[in-house]
Amino acid sequence: MKLYSALFTLSLIWGMSFLFIKVLLEVFDPWQIVFIRCVLGALTILPIILLRRQKIKVKVLPLKSLFLVGLLNAGIPWGLIALSETFLDSGYTAILNATTPIWTAMMGVLFFSVKMKWKQWIGVFVGFVGIIFLMGANTPGLSKSEFLIGILFMLSATCCYGFSSQYAKKHLQQTSVWITALATLLVGSIISAMIMSFTGGWHLPVHEVTHKAVLSLLGLGIFGSGLAYLLFYYMISAGSAEFAALVTYLVPVSAVIWGSVLLNEKIPPIAFLGLFLIFLGVYLTGRKKSARSASMEHNRTA
């Protein structure tokens, strides 16, 4: 019962993360959101690492690999997701986010000498058909070009996730998942801060921040980027990697419900057909992973 409670809670948190981003875009620009959520997430995880009295030997850490994983697991994709939500509804971006396992498989084949069986190739094909269905949906208030740009941003983010997962699996096997998580958030903070320097993002609109925005910041940073890690790792240790991976299927459903109830978003019926095909593709391309490799795929969400 505890495991299923953790699974349900995590799906609600990560599903709501897309809604938090949508709300925050009313006040902040995308890279400001990335910076704040990374800082809050790091401040959530760091005390836990200190309480665990885990020694961090900086000299022996694979800093280059940690930086690359942080860049492609948080810094860049979280910005792309926020950019995508400047065009798309939160539920729509969550549906596209579900393609991550498919891109992970493709990145493995293209860059890491991973071989797939015929059933997995069918899964990739089915997943792409699902994306095509999504691209054919009608979106009131958006031009076709704006709609496609939003999709392109989101798929670029999931490609980053896919590559970083394969890279982390190959190069960070001996690094603690806690150190990897903290490094990911710290690198994300640095990258987003650098981009903010070029975009004028350091001028935070504090006077425009509403109570709703503050709650969304706390929810996205503390819960969506910090405490969610704890639930995910708990499911891996107390259950299995395969059980933890079930959250991939629940997050889009959760996000669509949150967006519909709280933001009055409407997802066209054809999008649900695309979601079904993406889920089928994810199922077919999926292979059993060790707890360690699954933990490297902790941000399959916003």
Q: What is the pLDDT of residues 214-261, one digit of tens each?
A: 899 889 988 887 777 678 767 756 765 456 666 777 888 888 888 888
CA–CA separation, 299 and 45 (whole Å): 15
Q: What is the pLDDT of residues 64-74, one digit of tens each?
A: 999 999 999 89
- pLDDT exceeds 90 at position 264: no
Q: What is the percentage of the chain residues whose pLDDT exceeds 90?
A: 29
- pLDDT exceeds 70 at position 289: no
Least confident among 5-9, 81-85, 223-227: 223-227
Q: What is the pLDDT of residue 290?
A: 46
Which whole number is the average pLDDT over 162-181?
84
- pLDDT exceeds 60 at position 300: no
CA–CA separation, 1 and 235 (whole Å): 12
Q: What is the pLDDT of residue 32?
A: 93
Which whole number is the average pLDDT over 31-36?
94
